[in-house]
Every structure is written in C-alpha cells, then in structure tokens.
Chain A
Amino acid sequence: MASSIENNNEKLTLKSSDGEEFLVEKHVALQSTLLQNMLDSDCSSADVIPLPKIDARTLALVLGYCKKHADASSSKQGELNSFDSEFLKDMDMGALFNLVLAANFMEIKGLLDIAAQKIADTIKDKPHQEVREIFHVENDYTPEEEAAVREENRWAFEGFP
C-alpha cells in the first residue's frame, strides 16, 4: 500500500457544525472531491477545516466510510461491497438524509450513490401516500389538486393505482 499513500503521516483536522473536531489522515480525506480540491488549491493552510453543514454524528459516519474505502486495495472489491451494504443497514431515515446531504456537500460519489439508492429502495413500490409519510410531507396536494395532476400525467399511471 505504501506506494499509493505518500505523506502517510500528514493529517488534517475537520470541524463539524456542532464543534467536534476530527483528526483525519490525508489519504482518507482525499475520498472527498471537495477536500481534494481544497487541498489542491492550498486552502488547507488553515489548521482546521470547518464543515458548517455537517454534524458530528454524520461526519463520524462519513469518515468511517472514507477510511474503509481509502485503506482497501482495489482487489478487495467484494469486501468493499459487503461493507457498503452493512454500512447503511438499520440506519434510520433521519441519519440517512443527513448522510446523503453530507456526501453531496463533500462530493463523495460512492457514498452519495449508495445512500441515494438506499432511500430509493425504501420508497420503491410504495403508494405515494406512504412516500409522503416517510418524508414527513404535510399539506401536500388536496384530493382535487391530486386528481388534476394525475389527469395531466395519465400516461404515467396506466395500470397502476
């Protein structure tokens, strides 16, 4: 592994929205395109990189993911796949949404995709009333408005309730 991780000892500090600080090895941080760009453009001269949109709990999860993916060699793809599916298992919706926002903000493509896939899987095959519940959507369309939208897109609902 040594060749792929130069400056192995270099570390940087990330600060979450609620003030917790995380010491991260550079090659782990590079999983994030955002951090990579910051490092490339040398914005990292500051001691601490603030991540004002991400709370400590979510950041810890994100960094756990990055560490696994940074440390695994390419030949361990199967191991990474099973790590990914375990990673999101039993995660509640609140945490999952925080995670997808964090992955989007930090530009971590792999994490963004598995989190989005997981959210998609939970709403798949569910009637829209239930999707509203999952997302806690209130004050949505009235029955009349809904009927109008449905009529307008009738082709999308053929054969479906």
Chain B
Amino acid sequence: MVMPVQAFVKRQKVALDDDQIDRISSLPDELLAHILSFLPTKDAVKTVLIRRFGNLWTSIHNLDFDECLYHKCNGVFYYEDRRVNEERLINLIRHLLILHERSDIHRFCLKLQLNQLKLANEIDTWIRFAMRKKVKVLDLDFKACGYAYDSPGGYHKLPNVVLTSDILTELKLAYCRVEPGEHIRLRSLKNLSLEDVLISDKTMIEIIYGSPALESLFLYRYYGFHKLDFSSCVEPREHIQFPSLKSLSLKDMLISDKTMIELISGCPTLESLFLFECYGFHRLDFTSLNLKNVVIELNWKDSSRLEVSCPYMTSLNIIGIERTDLYNVSPVVDAALEFDDAYFNCARGEYREVKLRFEQLHDCLFLYGCYGFHKLDFSSCVEPQEHIQFRSLKSLSLKDMLISDKTMIELISGCPALESLFLFECYGFHRLDFTSLNLKNVVIELNWKDSSRLEVSCPYVTSLNITGIERTDLYNVSSVVDAALEFDNYYFNCDRGEYREVKLLFEQLHDAVTLFTRSVLVFTIWELTKSSCPSMNWRCLVLKTMLTEWHFPGIASLLRNSPNLEMLDIHIMPGTNPFYHRDDQWLMHYEIDGENFWDLQQSTFHCLVSHLKTVRIHNFKIESCAVKLVHFLLRNACVLEKLVIETKWELYPYKEKLLCLPRASPQAVILFCEKCYS
C-alpha cells in the first residue's frame, strides 16, 4: 500500500510511545559524540559521569568556550568571582585541548573578555590548535558581554595562521586587531563578520581579494576601515568588488553617498542588504537587478531626508526615519514602513506624492504612528474626490493612528484584495464593517481607556481577535471559526441585562475560542445566579485565566455547556484575587467550597463522556487550585488521550502521585513538560 506522505504525517503526529528502553545504548558512538557537540563544552565534559558516554566528549566536533556561561551577564559583579570564574574557564580549556582526540573540529568558539595581556600568547596557541584541527567555523570574541568593564582590556592580535586557511568557511571576530604579516588567502570563506575590529583599508581590501567565495559580510562599528570610505583607498581608482557577495549587513557605520553607490555597484550579486543605525548618506539607489530584500533601520535624530529608489526590489522595510521619499517602488510586494511620529507633518502638497507611492505597493503595508498623513484622513487630500486605492494590497497593519469611521470605510472599500487587517492601538473609530469578501483575518488590539463601545460586523471574517477594549458588540459573526476575545478587566461590569447579548455572541462562535480571566468569571456569575447558559458549539477552548475557586463554577459551566469540546487548554495566570472591581464584591457572598467543589459535581458533562481528548495545563503549580481540577478531569474524562502538564516548578513527589491516580480513560497518557527549573 502506498500512502501519501502528507496525510501520513498528520495522522501519526499524536501517537506516543514513552517506552522505558535505554535510549543511548542503541546509538552508535559517533552519533552520541555528535549530540554532545551541540552542548556547551563545559556541559559535554560533565557527561563523563554517565558510563555510556564515558570519554566520548574527547570526540566532540564543536568546541564552545563562553565566559558568559559562568555568570549572569546583567548581575552584580564582584571582582573576586570574576577572577575565579575566569580561572575555571581557562583551566577547562587547557585540560580539554590536551585531551581532545578527534583530528578535525567543525567549530571553535571562544568568548572571553581580554583583560590579561599575559594570556594573549596562550590564546594564540588555542587558535592554532583549532586551525591545526581544520576548523571550519571560527568565532573569536574578546569582549564577551563586557559585563565587568566599561571598555575591554584590549584587542587581541589575530595570529597569521587564521588568514591563510583554505578550509575556514566562517570567520567571526570581535575586538581583534588584524595586522597580517603575509599574503591573505581564505579560499573557502563564505561568511565574514567583523565587530569592533581594528583593521586598515589596505588589509580589508586584501581580505576581500583573498576571499573569492565570500557570500555574506557583516560589519559592525567598523571604524578602522576609514568609515567605509573606499575613496581613501591606497589606489583610489580601484573600486572594491565583492564578486560573489549575497548578503551584506552594516551596523553603526558612517557611509557617504558616494561610498554607498560604489558599494552597491561593487556587489553585483547582492540579494539582501541590511543597514542598521548607519548614517552619512542621503540617497539610496538600488539599481542592482539581484537585490530583492532591503531592511533599513535608522535612528536619525535630525530631520534629514532619505531618498530611496528601488526599481527591482520585492521586500522593503524602513524604520526610524522622519522623511523618506520613495521612487520606483512598483515591484515591491512586501513593504513595511514604520514612520516616526513627526513624519508627514508637512504641507499638504506632499500627500499626493505619498499617496501615489502607497498606491504602487502590493501585498503588505505596515504604518506606524503615521500622524501627519492627516491622521489617515484621506478626505482632506488635495483632491478630495480622489480616494486612496490599494488595489492589490493583501495585508495592512496600522499602529497608533487616529482613524475616523468615515476613513475606515474608505480604507476598507479602497483595499478590495485585502486579506488581513491588523489594528494596533488605533483610535477614533466606533464601527468596523468588514464588508469585503476577501478579508478573512482581523486582529484588533486596542487600548481604549474610556468606556467607548466598538461595533464590529464581520460577515466573511473567519479569524477574529479582539483585545483591550471594554465594550464590543459583534454582529454577523457566523463565519468566524477561530476567535479570541480578550476583554479588559472592567468588561461586563454593567447591568446584567447585557449578559444576554454576550450569550448570544458565544453561541454564534464555532470551533475555537480563547477566554480570559474576566470572561471565565462571567460564566461563574451565570452559574451562581442560576441564569441559563447557552449551549456552545466550540471544539477547542483556551482559557488564559487566573485560577481560583471563584473560577470553578465558571469552568464547570463551560464544560457542561460545551458538549462537543475536544481540547481544553488552560494557561494559568498569576494572582489569587479576581475581584478588580467593587461591583464584583457581591460574588464573595456566595460560598464556594474550593476543596470539595469538583467532588460535589453531580450533573453529567457530556464532553467528558465522549469528546474531550486533550487537556493542556500551562504554568501548573502544586499549591494551586489546578490540582483539584486535574484530578477531576482524570477521574471523569472517559476518552482522554493526553494530559500535558507544563510547569516551571519542580513537581516531584507530586508527579508520582498523579501518575498513580485513577483514570477514567484507559488510554490516557500524562506528559510532563518541565521548563528550566533548577
């Protein structure tokens, strides 16, 4: 029988075999050594305490020595501790390099703040060790996190042997001095990263000529190279050429317009360019046919203007600059423009230009804090009859913008192809009417402080996510299959008449729903006041909630009224007092017996009898109420397949007890996912 691969993967994903066979005895030595190679070397060595591992650590192919694994980088620093830790690391390296048996290593990484010049000589012997073992990836960082000193003790002079390797494919240097004594030859080098490296123009050019295979270059605070000013090269007529470079990242560098032009024309095969916090240029003309992807993250404080022409680009990302002029953007299919607050606070004549440019964008647009654009009020455009049209835009993100109801209508009708809309911290509108047939995915994260009401009508939307608003009215939600409603703490603090509306809303949602602390309490209120609760269709329920005895009636009600529930996912939030608001205090007059609540449940839970297969509890704590709930579910969920308990805390010995508890479902498996407790 031949099975299609895709279907098979899906079907098998749930299967579990937590057999108790000894796993490592079946693995060959080389595979175990391979696994150990991915540990920090100090941890790999410690597996010597397990018989099967024995001396396999002497065969690891990655050597990774990082000073920062011995301290907390942001912690309080004591000189004495630092000295002791440094001695430990050095001692580890000395022993390991003598005992290491493998003839080749893949990666050698050393991160150590250089503050003892007397060590420099020995460090060279370590580097030579790595080179002799045919290292492919060499990562030397003599600043590390720099936690102990404001400035590093010194730059380490790179030994010549590194610059004449035909095997090295990746070289990362930080706080090094590069002063080669002989001809540079790095025939296999593909990735080069230089951060705070002292190097002369002449040497840099030698490196580039000596590295014909170079594909990726990262330069960070790269002062020595005359601030990337190629015109000051020894032979000024000779331009830098990176014949095979595909990716170039520049960070914190002064680059003149002239240099930029030379750079781009000197990299004919460049596909990706990243400019982080660079300055000194005012025009970017991306004339290269291959350059498809550009990310520009600047931090210019003055009001300089940047002109960008990008006729061949498909992805463009500009952040942190007040004034950008874009030309020839027609092929850009994916653009994110994040403008500073002050942008567009200029004469109206410009709107037209900006509009024209936006109209040329396809696929994806992200606007952030774009005030000047008349607060996204297109009606005040120079020609008021002309509406904005984003004919092919598929995704629109707006953040921190004032948008009127009228503009919103224009915007949505002006984007007929829009599939996804994200509104973050926007304001000024009160009604959202998503009439577009294509718009399927809407995320609304607001932060309205007043008690304004938002009306949302979404007849075609399939995924809806609303957060941070007190009052939302939803209409036409029948097609929504996946909804997350995160209500603000104060939500529902209104007269009880409204519960009915909310109830209707819940009834209409299908498939998957996420509820938060307050929303769960609403179900408690219904339960305690004996209001009837609607029967819900959803199959997946996510609760992100505090868990107190006050939530138990709500959860019981949810379980009782969700007959088709297959998956319950509870994220326990910290806190013990769910009563934020005075109006809720009346709840406290009800007595809830948290201790025995679940034992006293008598009515049937239909979903527990025949549907609930998966339960996940995140942030589980032994002291919390969750224990009672877990016991109840294990005892009553007849078709449960999997209970996953995720925790940051040590569960032993409770774990043993839980595993022995009676389970209603014979095939139920309990899985623990314990995250990084010490």
Contact = CB atoms under 8 A, between A and B. Distances in A.
Interface of A: 13, 20-24, 56-57, 60-61, 63-64, 67, 75, 92-95, 97, 100-101, 104, 112-113, 116-117, 119-121, 123-125, 128, 131-132, 135-138, 140-141, 146, 149-150, 153, 155-160
Interface of B: 1-6, 8-9, 12, 15-28, 31, 34-40, 42-43, 45-52, 70, 84-85, 88, 91-92, 95, 271, 292-293, 671, 676, 678
Q: Which has the most chain A C-beta neighbours within 10 Å: B17, B38, B678?
A: B38
A116 B37 contact: yes
Given A92-B17, A155-B91, 15 more contacts: A22-B2, A57-B12, A94-B16, A116-B37, A120-B39, A123-B43, A124-B43, A131-B47, A135-B24, A136-B23, A140-B51, A141-B50, A156-B92, A157-B46, A160-B46
B292 A75 contact: yes
Given A21-B1, A125-B676, A131-B47, A136 B35 contact: no
A118 to B, nearest CB: 9
Contacts of B37: 116, 120
Contacts of B678: 125
9 contacts: A20-B1, A56-B8, A67-B6, A101-B26, A125-B676, A137-B50, A137-B52, A150-B49, A157-B46
Contact of A75 (B28, B39, B92, B271): B271
A128 B57 CA distance: 14
A117 B38 CA distance: 5
B631 to A, nearest CB: 24
Contact of B45 (A23, A117, A156): A156
B18 A92 contact: yes
Nearest to A61: B9
Given A21-B1, A64-B6, A149 B91 contact: no
A64 to B, nearest CB: 4
Contacts of A20: 1, 3
A146 B49 contact: yes
Contacts of A56: 8, 12
Contact of B49 (A97, A100, A101, A128): A128
In the A-B complex, the 3 residue pairs with the smallest Cβ-Cβ separation, listed nearest first, are A120-B38, A60-B8, A156-B45
A10 to B, nearest CB: 15
Nearest to A128: B49
Contact of B671 (A92, A119, A156): A92
A124 B52 contact: no
Contacts of A101: 26-27, 31
Contacts of B271: 75
Contact of A140 (B17, B50, B676): B50
B22 A141 contact: no
A119 B676 CA distance: 15
Contacts of A146: 49
B271 to A, nearest CB: 7
Contacts of A124: 39-40, 43
Nearest to B57: A156
Nearest to A104: B31
A136 B49 contact: no
Contacts of B6: 64, 67
Given A128-B50, A132-B50, A146-B49, A159 B88 contact: yes
Nearest to A63: B5
B46 A128 contact: yes
Contact of A155 (B2, B52, B95): B95
A151 B374 CA distance: 74
A117 B36 CA distance: 9
A124 B38 CA distance: 9
